[in-house]
Amino acid sequence: MARTVFVMGETRDKVKNELARGSAISIVALVNFLIEEAGLMHASDIHIVPEEKNTRVRYRIDGILEDKHTYPNSLNQSVISRIKVLAGVRTDEHQAAQDGRFTINLDGVIMDIRVSIVPTYHGENAVLRILSDKAENFSLEALGFSDGDRRKILKAIKKPFGMILSTGPTGSGKTTTLYTIIRLLNSRESSIVTIEDPIEYSIGGITQIQVNSRSGLTFANGLRSILRQDPNVIMVGEIRDVETASIAVNTSLTGHLLLSTLHTTDAATTLPRLLDMKIEPFLVASTVNVAIGQRLLRRICKTCRKERAMTSAEKDSLTESLPESLSASINSMWHGTGCDECNKTGYKGRVGINEVMLVDQEIREAILLKSSAKEIKRIAVKNGMTTMLEDGIEKAKQGVTTIEEVLRVIHE
């Protein structure tokens, strides 16, 4: 893995002006500038998208894609070649998808850049995922888990075996949650092994394995090999198929604590999803300790946030969008007015909204009866589970986020 130190200083404004004027520009300086600017703006991704005449550069900031720059398409191949050199992939390959990564040091913050390059109609498209080492300092509280949900997770990770599953769509913070739990479990007394695709954060004291399909190292094959490494805790990046699900369940039955992710809409859907993957109901009931459903939404900027009373029209609209039990308790709304700190958006940073479902005896009985996700969710709520929607509304009432943002993300 290449390590590169970028020191832009006074050249940043120069590159920006050259981009705006469309004048000649150094390709090395341009790539450095894009990465540094994205890092300073706390973007999670840089999209370099070739079009018919120009190439668009877009940053994903707090989950939202924003157009930032354009440059002539004639420069794009040189820009992509520079990124390929940094990422250590083939510069003479233009018709196949390639993945790589490199590391930079930006003002003392180590950032891992994951690169994906694919050929498109107008040229090669690149997406650079920016991963900061600050993830090692995350806590369950910082990720947005309430006191009650944190207690449920801490109780589940004390068990010597079973499964802890984090669920949600792509980009909902599942892997970060698992890394945070791994950090809580990391000690000299335990052996922790992970198999991931890709390895997003490097954590000291644990063994991390990268999936490699070319060599036959899949999640399923890697999981079999891990069992011969005498681990206490195993993290599988994602349960994608029937084979991986079967091995994961059997692994947790044999005295291992297994952490993984699933793509489901909420915590309750996790259990029927495992049944769909040909796992026997009694095995699901015996192995899953806790299922975590989560989403990421934007925080209100703390510098410019304000609270105001709701109008009658807003109250009526909210009553139509939310269950009466939630809408009745909302009388005011928080919002960001927009300032230099948040780039006039009213939002800065993201926070998770979560639901943590402990698999208790009543839910186990429902699994054995192959009950629907709706019935399992009803039981979980009856037994004290706070849903993602309820968690989001509570954060909106506290001024952490806005009601609009909760409804945008939850789609309820």
CATH number at residue 217: 3.40.50.300
Residue 58 falls inside a structural domain: yes
Q: Looking at residues 237-251, what average pLDDT do you find?
A: 93
Band (pLDDT 50/70/90 cuts) for residue 316 is: confident
Task: Report the pLDDT value the prediction gives residue 78, as an integer from 0 to 100.
Answer: 94
- Are 125 and 191 contained in the same domain? no
Size of the chain in residues: 412
Q: Final residue of a domain: which of 80, 97, 131?
A: 131
Question: Is the pLDDT higher at 333 or at 104?
Answer: 333
CATH number of the domain that residue 105 is part of = 3.30.450.90
CA distances from 36 to 7, 50, 73, 134 (A): 9, 21, 22, 17
Q: 228 with 328, same domain?
A: yes
Query: Which of the four pLDDT bands, split at 50, 70 and 90, describes residue 204?
Result: confident
Q: Is the pLDDT of residue 5 over 70?
A: no
Q: Is residue 3 one of the residues assigned to a domain?
A: no
Domain boundary among 72, 100, 131: 131
pLDDT of residue 15: 74
Do both 156 and 211 map to the same domain?
A: yes
Let me know whether 183 and 318 are in one domain: yes
Let me know if residue 2 belongs to a domain: no
CA distance 10 to 28: 15
Whether residue 59 lies inside any domain: the answer is: yes
Chain mean pLDDT for the chain = 90
82 with 154, same domain?
A: no
User: What are the φ and ψ backbone dihedral angles of 182, each rounded to 5 degrees?
Assistant: -60, -40
- Tens-place pLDDT, residues 256-266: 999 999 999 99
This prediction has a pTM of 0.85
Residues 335 and 313 in one domain: yes
Q: What pLDDT is recorded for position 136? A: 54
Which residues have C-beta within 8 Å of that of residue 365, sequence separation ≥ 6? Answer: 285
**Whose structure tokens read 């996790």?**
270
pLDDT digits (tens, 9 = 90+) for 51-108: 999 999 999 999 899 999 999 999 999 999 999 999 999 999 999 999 998 988 777 7
Using DSSP, how many helices (H) and how many strands (E) does the chain show? 15, 16
Q: How confident is the model at residue 133 (pLDDT cuts 50, 70, 90)?
A: low
Whether 203 and 336 map to the same domain: the answer is: yes
d(C-alpha 58, C-alpha 38), whole Å: 9
Residues 269 and 342 in one domain: yes
Mean pLDDT of 383-392: 96
Claim to verify: residue 293 and residue 346 sit in the same structural domain? yes
- 84 to 4, 50, 212, 365: CA distances (angstroms): 14, 16, 20, 53
The tally of domains found in the chain comes to 2
Residues 232 and 281 placed together within one structural domain of the fold: yes
Same domain, yes or no: 282 and 388: yes
pLDDT at 12: 67
Would you say residue 1 lies in a domain? no
Query: What's residue 2's pLDDT?
Result: 43
DSSP character for 343?
A: T
Model confidence at 1: pLDDT above 50: no
**Higher pLDDT among residues 203 and 192, named by residue:** 192
- Residue 356: domain span: 140-411
Instruction: Report, as an integer, the average pLDDT of 345-349.
Output: 92
Mean pLDDT calculated for residue range 330-343: 91
Mean pLDDT in residue range 195-210: 87
Lowest-confidence segment of 114-118, 138-142, 196-200, 288-292 by average pLDDT? 196-200
- Residue 281 covered by a domain: yes
Q: How confident is the model at residue 306 (pLDDT cuts 50, 70, 90)?
A: very high
Mark whether 58 and 153 lie in a shared domain: no
3 pLDDT above the threshold of 60: no
19 domain-assigned: yes
Among 131, 160, 193, where does a domain finish? 131
Percent of the chain with pLDDT over 90: 71
Q: What is the DSSP letter of 387?
A: P
